[in-house]
């Protein structure tokens, strides 16, 4: 999944703002370590009667601003350092978006594509049993991430509730709407990303009507990103891809029909009227906006020089690797950093927590109205600092987020 260590990458980014904030070496050292991590081995009975032990993790990176928050990933190439890097990113994401939450991430090394629904359910429940004692509505609140979804969250909430002997909606977010979930949560990351793109497009005098957009990924984030971009922002989605390859159509893809095609065939390849391309071709396409919405570290020093988009919006976590950032910056391509751009997911997760705590339910219009306000506020603060200090948006975003966490640690008397 990542031949570059995501944790090392995030730590490097962290360093980029420590001079701006005049952080002491000891504070910087504290920020570079997770406060808590749990490694678990999870035995699960498989459908054929055998027992398989899966390895899982939960990393609570920093909880100075509030209970830790972050998703759970199911992926065969999961590593503890990827989880640490992503938990660190969640810390900066929640801080940047002014949420009263810290950062966490969890993962299980498994291949969900090769497991039955019953096996996935047993694994999800067993994982919650293993991490039960460190999570909870006031401690650490998981959510969906790579290859986990609302159904996974429902099993996990149910398992936690069984052990706690009371329904505990607030322990997890991204639940089905019928079970304490929030309206708009499934499309929140994509929606939030588009609110930010709209602001950035204005600032860069780019007209979104008919703008050519290429999206890497057609899953939880990529597919709604394509639909919203086309239907609500008037863009032309010229290319998309998934793990088996991509497709291109100069006049724009019919995204709704593509969603059905992917559902039927399991991939975007061979979509009528489009040309098959590779994932690498997609990243190097000449277009207005490139949206990496799949895995980390896909734009590297090897291909960054070939990126021909006018703007990159990171809907995935960590898609632009170390070194690649500088190349894009040098070529005058603005990058909207991940923890600014994809904060919509955790913002609506936070709205879900607020609704759960108040036994309330907001309609989608209300959710998106609040989401839009928060995304614009965060974007504006980053944009202002980035032009004031003449630094890339990522560095400005780190400065804002890190200073909030440092202040909270200071007030608590930790440093």
> Binding segment for ligand GLU among 29-37, 51-59, 306-314, 340-348 (CB under 6 A)?
340-348
Q: Is 69 in the site for ligand GLU (CB under 6 A)?
A: yes
Q: Is 71 in the site for ligand GLU (CB under 6 A)?
A: yes
Question: Is residue 95 packed enough to be buried (19+ CB in 10 Å), middle (13-18) or exposed (0-12)?
Answer: buried
Burial 114-135 (b: 16+ CB within 10 A, else e): ebeeebbbbbbbbbbebbeeeb
Paired strand residues for 312: 290, 335
Name the minimum Å distance from CB 194 to ligand GLU: 16
Q: Is 173 in the site for ligand GLU (CB under 6 A)?
A: yes
Q: Is 319 in the site for ligand GLU (CB under 6 A)?
A: no
Rg (CA), the chain: 20
Q: Is 62 in the site for ligand GLU (CB under 6 A)?
A: no
Of the candidate residues 70, 102, 192, 392, the single one contacting ligand GLU (CB under 6 A): 70
Question: Is residue 24 packed enough to be buried (19+ CB in 10 Å), middle (13-18) or exposed (0-12)?
Answer: exposed
- Given the complex with ligand GLU, which of 66 and 252 has the nearer CB atom? 66
CA angle 7, 13, 14 (to 5 degrees): 90
- Given the complex with ligand GLU, which of 168 and 349 has the nearer CB atom? 349
Burial 219-255 (b: 16+ CB within 10 A, else e): bbbbbbbbbbbbeebebbbbbbbbeebbbbbeebbbb
Name the minimum Å distance from CB 93 to ligand GLU: 6
Q: Which helix (H) or strand (E) holds 275?
A: strand 275-277
Of the candidate residues 345, 355, 371, 382, the single one contacting ligand GLU (CB under 6 A): 345
> Binding segment for ligand GLU among 33-41, 194-202, 344-352, 399-407 (CB under 6 A)?
344-352
What is the strand order of the sheet 51-62 is part of?
A: 36-45, 51-62, 103-109, 68-75, 140-144
> What does 202-271 look like in DSSP terms, one character per residue?
HHTT---TT-EEEEE--STTHHHHHHHHHHTT--EEEEEEETTEEEE-TT---HHHHHHHHHHHSSSSS-
> Binding segment for ligand GLU among 48-56, 252-260, 272-280, 341-349 (CB under 6 A)?
341-349
Name the minimum Å distance from CB 252 to ligand GLU: 28
Closest CA to 282 of 327, 247, 256, 331: 247
Name the minimum Å distance from CB 182 to ligand GLU: 10
Name the minimum Å distance from CB 87 to ligand GLU: 10
Which 3 state secondary structure label does DSSP give 13? helix
Name the minimum Å distance from CB 374 to ligand GLU: 13
**Which residues ranging from 251 to 310 are in contact with ligand GLU (CB under 6 A)?**
none
- Given the complex with ligand GLU, which of 142 and 392 has the nearer CB atom? 142
Report residue 121 CA to chain centroid gap: 23
Catalytic entry in 93, 105, 175, 262: 105
Q: Is 143 in the site for ligand GLU (CB under 6 A)?
A: yes
Dist. CA 119–CA 52, nearest whole Å: 10
Dist. CA 173–CA 196, nearest whole Å: 23
Asked if 3 contacts 295 with a C-beta cutoff of 8 angstroms, the reply is no
Closest CA to 59 of 138, 166, 131, 152: 131
- Given the complex with ligand GLU, which of 37 and 314 has the nearer CB atom? 314
Q: Is 346 in the site for ligand GLU (CB under 6 A)?
A: yes
Name the minimum Å distance from CB 273 to ligand GLU: 33
Binding mask 79-98 for ligand GLU (x = CB under 6 A): --------------x-----
- Given the complex with ligand GLU, which of 93 and 261 has the nearer CB atom? 93
> Binding segment for ligand GLU among 256-264, 345-353, 375-383, 385-393 (CB under 6 A)?
345-353
Per the annotation, the verdict on 11 as an active-site residue is: no
Q: Is 230 in the site for ligand GLU (CB under 6 A)?
A: no
Chain residue whose CB lies nearest ligand GLU: 71
Instruction: Please identify every residue annotated as catalytic.
Output: 105
Q: Interface residues with ligand GLU (CB under 6 A)? A: 69-71, 93, 143, 145, 173, 317, 342, 345-346, 349
């Amino acid at each position: 999944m990542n031949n570059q260590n995501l944790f090392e990458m995030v730590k490097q980014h962290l360093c980029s703002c420590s001079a701006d904030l005049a952080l002491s070496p000891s504070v910087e050292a504290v920020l570079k370590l997770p406060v808590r991590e749990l490694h678990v081995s999870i035995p699960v009975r498989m459908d054929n009667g055998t027992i398989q032990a899966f390895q899982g993790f939960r990393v609570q990176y920093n909880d100075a601003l509030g209970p830790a928050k972050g998703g759970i990933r199911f992926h065969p190439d999961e590593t503890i350092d990827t989880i640490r890097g992503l938990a660190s990113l969640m810390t900066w994401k929640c801080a940047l978006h002014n949420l009263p939450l810290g950062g966490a991430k969890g993962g299980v090394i498994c291949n969900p594509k090769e497991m039955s629904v019953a096996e996935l359910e047993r694994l999800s429940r067993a994982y919650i049993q293993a991490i039960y004692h460190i999570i909870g509505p006031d401690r650490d609140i998981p959510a969906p991430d790579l290859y986990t979804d609302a159904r996974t969250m429902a099993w996990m909430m149910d398992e936690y509730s069984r052990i706690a002997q009371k329904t505990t909606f607030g322990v997890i977010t991204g639940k089905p709407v019928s079970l304490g979930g929030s309206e708009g949560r499934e499309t929140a990351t994509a929606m939030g990303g588009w609110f930010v793109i709209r602001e950035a497009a204005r600032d860069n005098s780019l007209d979104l009507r008919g703008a050519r957009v290429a999206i890497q990924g057609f899953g939880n984030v990529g597919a709604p990103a394509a639909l919203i971009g086309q239907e609500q922002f008037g863009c032309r989605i010229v290319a998309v891809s998934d793990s088996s390859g991509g497709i291109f159509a100069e006049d724009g893809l019919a995204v709704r029909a593509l969603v059905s095609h992917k559902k039927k065939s399991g991939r975007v390849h061979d979509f009528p009227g489009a040309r098959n391309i590779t994932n690498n071709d997609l990243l190097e396409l000449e277009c207005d906006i490139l949206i990496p919405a799949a895995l980390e570290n896909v734009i590297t020093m090897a291909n960054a020089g070939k990126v021909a988009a006018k703007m990159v919006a990171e809907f995935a976590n960590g898609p632009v690797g170390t070194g690649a950032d500088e190349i894009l910056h040098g070529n005058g391509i603005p990058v909207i950093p991940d923890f600014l751009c994809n904060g919509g997911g955790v913002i609506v997760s936070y709205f879900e927590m607020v609704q759960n705590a108040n036994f309330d339910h907001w309609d989608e219009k209300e959710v998106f109205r609040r989401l839009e306000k928060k995304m614009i506020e965060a974007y504006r603060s980053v944009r202002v600092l980035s032009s004031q200090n003449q630094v890339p948006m990522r560095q400005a975003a780190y400065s804002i987020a890190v200073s909030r966490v440092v202040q909270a640690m200071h007030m608590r008397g930790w440093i």
